[in-house]
């Protein structure tokens, strides 16, 4: 039974989460920031399980942005180690639960062991039909849009596409997110209320949910609450209510 009165017929198809607050969570407990990142992994496990139960089709997690390279080397190294460890430990369980693992962003810039773990996860789970766990890694929306423009211009020069026929769908098909629907609901934890270069094109008609809860404390009930709030919004997509 749900803690919130969620309509299981109207669960978001695609939920995207900006997992913020690991450092603040750690600081409030007089722990190093790295401890917060480790605690955040537990929240990922719980959220994936709840998405499975509610039959959410796509879950995109903002795991590492193009700007995150600016953080202290120890923190970046810890995040990469956690990614590799998470995949090595969790992939069998994810596969058993029919989860498909995909990614957006330029993963070629990640450490070799992370790339190998990711490619292994992609291959193992590629035919799974449950939740699509989409990891945003070395991802930035501006970078993605820039790359799409370059590719469109190159294809136009080669005659593959006609510039006069370019529309919104053309651009969508050149973005990293071309194979998944736009997010219905974007959640950001830890009190911040901005996109931070995350899915800016795709978020045109997304519903936003902001919470002061730090990511390591974001659990099944918090996800239910976000979905409940989403279901009580009036989504008009620029039109009028029926």
Both tokens assigned to 114? 């992370």
Find tokens 């929240």 and name the residue: 43
Q: Which of 5, 7, 22, 68 is catalytic?
A: 68
Both tokens assigned to 47? 């959220």
The residue among 87, 2, 92, 100 whose CA lies nearest residue 60 is 100
The residue among 198, 136, 206, 148 whose CA lies nearest residue 175 is 148
25 contacts 215 by C-beta, under 8 angstroms: yes
Distance between CA atoms of residues 234 and 237, nearest Å: 9
197 contacts 65 by C-beta, under 8 angstroms: yes
Distance between CA atoms of residues 229 and 207, nearest Å: 10
68 in catalytic set: yes
Both tokens assigned to 122? 């992609």
DSSP states of 54-78: HT-SEEEEEEEETTGGGS-HHHHHH
Helical segments of the chain, H only: 22-28, 33-54, 73-96, 112-125, 141-157, 168-172, 220-231
Q: Which of 2, 5, 7, 20 is catalytic?
A: 20
155 in catalytic set: no
Catalytic residue positions? Answer: 20, 68
């Amino acid at each position: 039974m749900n803690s919130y009165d969620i309509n299981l017929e109207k669960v978001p198809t695609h939920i995207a989460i900006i997992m913020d607050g690991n450092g603040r969570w750690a600081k409030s407990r007089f722990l190093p920031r790295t401890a917060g990142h480790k605690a955040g992994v537990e929240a990922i496990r719980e959220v994936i399980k709840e998405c499975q139960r509610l039959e959410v089709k796509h879950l995109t997690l903002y795991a590492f942005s193009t700007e995150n390279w600016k953080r202290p080397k120890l923190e970046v190294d810890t995040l990469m180690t956690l990614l590799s460890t998470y995949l090595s430990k969790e992939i069998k369980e994810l596969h058993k639960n029919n989860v498909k693992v995909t990614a957006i962003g330029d993963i070629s810039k990640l450490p070799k062991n992370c790339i190998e773990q990711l490619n292994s996860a992609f291959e193992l789970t590629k035919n799974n039909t449950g939740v699509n766990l989409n990891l945003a890694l070395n991802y930035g929306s501006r970078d993605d849009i820039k790359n799409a423009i370059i590719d469109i211009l190159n294809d136009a020069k080669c005659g593959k596409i006609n510039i006069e026929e370019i529309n919104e769908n053309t651009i969508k098909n050149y973005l990293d997110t071309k194979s998944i629907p736009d997010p219905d609901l974007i959640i950001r934890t830890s009190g911040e209320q901005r996109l931070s270069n995350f899915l800016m094109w795709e978020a045109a008609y997304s519903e936003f949910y902001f919470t002061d809860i730090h990511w390591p404390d974001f659990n099944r009930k918090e996800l239910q609450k976000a979905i409940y709030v989403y279901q009580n919004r009036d989504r008009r997509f620029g039109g009028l209510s029926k």
